Amino acid sequence: MNVVNLVVQAGVVAQAVLLILLGFSLMSWTLIFMKFGVFRRSRRESAQFLHIFRSAKNLTTVFEESKRFTRSPIVSVFQEGYRELSQLVKGGQGPATQWPTANEPRAVTEVFLHKEPLDLISRTLRHASMREVAQQERYLIFLATTGNVTPFVGLFGTVWGIMNAFTSIGQAGSANLGAVAPGVAEALITTAAGLGAAIPAVVAYNYFLNWVRRQATEMELFGLEFLTLAERILARSR
């Protein structure tokens, strides 16, 4: 008896369980492919943006270039920080002035700054980072739910099927293998289906969660890099 026959000949409850598990599995795989594509593109765009950011001579150029990268979380953090820094620079001049150079006197870059402007920028960067992390974690809870719930849904179908198998044995008055095997096989297929839906979801969830944490670390490091640059620009503007 093949799997198709087992599914076709299964009871109403077993078929309902299999249908539920199929729905979970299809939605999980759709989400996995979607998230993988989004994360891969965001990583590529972040790398391209960081190259532009570290090689450009002024922030205005970087800001204009950043508009090409719509999937990078680091770009969103930079744009928020840039807007805040632009408002803080004296005379209404955005931070389009030349990048502070290594030969610039240290006295200029070490001018005492009131902490409030940098605190404002820091809070802006942190808020943008948290928003991007929340956006990247969106829908991942469904993978976690699938990994936790579907084995038990499959187990419910198994228990129900075994109960029916034993009921049939009692009614037939026979406990030979030929009478028991079809009912037990029908019951166990729901467990297999539950594991088939859960395992990919758990693997994908752990993989994506690690990816989000790595992105969060990169955004935090970029925020520190931007704050250092902002401090030097504010010092020059005073």
Output the pLDDT for position 149.
94
State pLDDT tens for residues 111-132: 444 457 888 899 999 999 999 9
Output the pLDDT for position 4.
66
Mean pLDDT of the chain: 82
Q: What is the 3-state secondary structure (H, E, C) of the chain?
A: CCHHHHHHHCCHHHHHHHHHHHHHHHHHHHHHHHHHHHHHHHHHHHHHHHHHHHHCCCHHHHHHHHCCCCCCHHHHHHHHHHHHHHHHCHHHCCCCCCCCCCCCCHHHHCCCCCHHHHHHHHHHHHHHHHHHHHHHCCCHHHHHHHHHHHHHHHHHHHHHHHHHHHHHHHHHCCCCHHHHHHHHHHHHHHHHHHHHHHHHHHHHHHHHHHHHHHHHHHHHHHHHHHHHHHHHHHHHHC
Output the pLDDT for position 173.
61
Confidence of residue 10 (pLDDT cuts 50, 70, 90): low
Per the CB < 8 A criterion, the answer to whether 129 and 226 are in contact is: no
Confidence of residue 175 (pLDDT cuts 50, 70, 90): low
Domain boundaries, the chain: 3-237
Give the pLDDT mean for 7-14: 70
The closest of 53, 130, 143, 132 to 99, measured between CA atoms, is 53
Give the pLDDT mean for 182-211: 88
State pLDDT tens for residues 59-68: 888 999 999 9
pLDDT for residue 55 is more than 70: yes
- Those residues whose C-beta lies under 8 Å from the C-beta of residue 40, and which sit 6 or more positions away, are none
Q: CA-based Rg of the chain, rounded to a whole angstrom?
A: 29
Output the pLDDT for position 233.
84
Percent of the chain residues topping a pLDDT of 90: 49
State pLDDT tens for residues 69-95: 988 999 999 999 999 888 887 544 444
Asked whether the whole model's pTM tops 0.85, one would answer: no
**Greater pLDDT, 1 or 194:** 194
Task: Using the Cα atoms of residue 25, residue 20, residue 147 and residue 211 in order, give the sign of their dihedral.
Answer: positive
State pLDDT tens for residues 200-231: 999 999 999 999 999 999 999 999 999 988 88
Percent of the chain residues topping a pLDDT of 70: 77
